[in-house]
A and B are shown apart, each in its own frame.
Chain A
Amino acid sequence: MAVTKIVEVPISAEVPIGPQHPALHEPLLLRVYADGEEVVRVEINTGYNHRGIEKLCEKNTFYKDIFIVGRVCGICNAVHANCYVRAVEQILGIEPNNRAKYLRVLSMELERIHSHMLINAVMAENIGFENLFMQIMLDREMVMKAKEILTGSRVMADFMMVGGVRRDIDDVKRARLKDILLKLRPKVEYYKKVFEEDETIFKRLAGVGVVKRRDALAHGLLGPVARASGIRIDSRASDKYDAYGDIPFKVITRDEGDTWARMMVRWDETLESIEMSIYILDKLPSDGNPVPDERKLPRRFPPGEAFTRVEAPRGELTYYVMSDGKSLNPYRVKIRTPSFNNIINSTFMYLKHTIADVPVILTSLDPCISCMERATVIDLEKGVKYTVPFKVLAGGKP
């Protein structure tokens, strides 16, 4: 019998998850409303980590801003700096040489490897595999070392410069980097196999938080989340910025759209990034010094605007930079990080799942709170109402 009448019941249990979060060690409050165990509504509440970076950028010079935008996010600082620097280069009309472009891509791919390994490790921890977490984190340390060899710093690289990069590498470093990557590859292949074949992991992740292709696009979800729903978007492949036009790579997509697919997309991308990094080290061009002379960089900025996109580990990251031609400071810098879309617009994903699934789904989005929190975040459910048939009100089973 079709239900003809519906009564809205305004009572549900509110379960605050966070701000000290079960999924990630970053502050975010998910206000989950549950009907029994079932999630009926989710509100996202943030603002615990806001720093006002866009305003700060307007108050500092174009060159100082390179260091400010690097601090938006610790894990993906190279992509932030790269995106900003390329926008400034567009305004100035400068182009770095090929060696600099290859080195930039290398630093960004190393970042993708360690970022994807981190979130897979956190996922392992969240579903109760603490040993796996420690193993992955141990091997991730090799990538951090590689990043230190390349950029001089484990985490905060500050590697990008207008017109090039800040350091060059010699053949000794090149050999060491390649050695690390070759050692890392079988380990990542093994972890991928674990996620693929272990029955417990598969049962915990498969079918949880399914996103359909159409929903993902309508809500503007990006990166591995979109690619796991069968959407082939990758700004590396479409914009071909820096050296991505020269380096062969595959865009990984899957059709399942669930949490497991998102984690598998990340493992496959990690392997792809390792291949790309090895390719770069083998084919590194030597067409001059990649480090520009800082004293010879332009001191005047023509009026102009640029909108650059970069494929961060979490998805498409965009920068809009505008110069009014009157001062050394940018008139407007707008940063839109992938987590900003992925976290705020994705509350529909939790509905109909149990409370225990919430941390798993959230982790599968690879949330980066400090990325997101330079901007405001509000989400009140839009248009989603939960309804209970008369039958249940009368004490019957749904």
Chain B
Amino acid sequence: MALSSFLNLLRRVRLVESVNDVIKIVERYAVEKGSIKPDRMLFVVKPESVRKLFEELVDKVGYERFYLSTVVGSDMKEENRFRLDYYVVILPEERTIVIRTYIPRDQPVIDSIVDVVPAALSAENETYDLLGIVFKGNPALRRGFFVSSDVVDKGVYPLRKDAAGV
């Protein structure tokens, strides 16, 4: 009994360490911190450091300790910028953290991370087709697989707040 509780404690300590490793790396890039309900830590980073951050994560902690869950792009029209949230789940504890960045609305370009984290493929393609955010370096970006061809012909990105006729 005593031994098993001791092992449990040890396991818990190791879990805490593993989360801390990842968070320490992310924290170094963060310019601002916050949280999203329920209890997801939020780090705002500069758009040019997103790729560097993921490169360092893969380099230092490896693929087996986290996965990219999804990328959420939103159109913040009033602030005249797009917001990109990268949701990263840290293993083995499965703690979700958010890496957030903003890019200008008139020049929506950011470096792709698809060659660093292949899991970004589906999310980046979706964000491009719906919001028109260009992920520089992703060879698979293409319009019209998701939205129907008449919307593509109009050149409309449906999830933009000023999209007409969708």
Contacts and interface: CB of A to CB of B under 8 A. Distances in A.
Interface string B110-126: 00001101111111011
Interface in B130-147: 130, 139-142, 144-147
B87 interface: yes
Contacts of A378: 125, 129, 140-142, 145-146
Given A47-B148, A378-B125, A382-B114, A238 B94 contact: yes
Contacts of A45: 145
B70 A318 contact: yes
A54 interface: yes
A179 interface: no
Contacts, number: 140
A153 B162 CA distance: 39
A139 interface: no
B72 interface: yes
Contact of B68 (A52, A220, A380): A220
A377 B93 contact: no
A43 B68 CA distance: 22
Contact of A376 (B85, B96, B147): B147
Given A376-B130, A380-B140, A232 B122 contact: no
B74 interface: yes
A305 B37 contact: yes
A214 interface: yes
A71 interface: no
Contacts of A336: 69-70, 72, 123
B85 A55 contact: no
Given A309-B96, A379-B121, A332 B74 contact: yes
Contacts of B159: 54-55
Contacts of A254: none
Contact of A345 (B93, B95, B115, B118): B118
B52 to A, nearest CB: 18
B47 interface: no
Interface string A334-358: 1010001100110000000000000
Interface string A192-228: 0000000000000000000001100111100000000
A170 B16 CA distance: 44
Given A217-B63, A238-B93, A320-B72, A376 B121 contact: no
B146 A47 contact: yes
B38 A308 contact: yes
A219 B119 contact: yes
A33 B128 CA distance: 26
A381 to B, nearest CB: 8
A218 B118 contact: yes
Interface of B: 36-38, 40, 63-64, 66-70, 72, 74, 85, 87, 89, 91-96, 98, 114-115, 117-123, 125-126, 129-130, 139-142, 144-148, 158-159, 166
Given A375-B146, A378-B146, 19 more contacts: A47-B148, A52-B158, A90-B37, A233-B89, A238-B93, A306-B38, A307-B87, A309-B69, A334-B70, A334-B74, A336-B123, A340-B122, A341-B122, A344-B125, A375-B122, A376-B146, A378-B142, A382-B121, A383-B115
12 contacts: A213-B64, A218-B118, A220-B69, A220-B120, A233-B94, A307-B40, A332-B74, A344-B125, A375-B146, A379-B122, A380-B139, A383-B115
Interface of A: 45-47, 50, 52, 54-55, 90-91, 213-214, 217-220, 231-235, 237-239, 304-309, 316, 318, 320, 322, 331-332, 334, 336, 340-341, 344-345, 375-380, 382-383
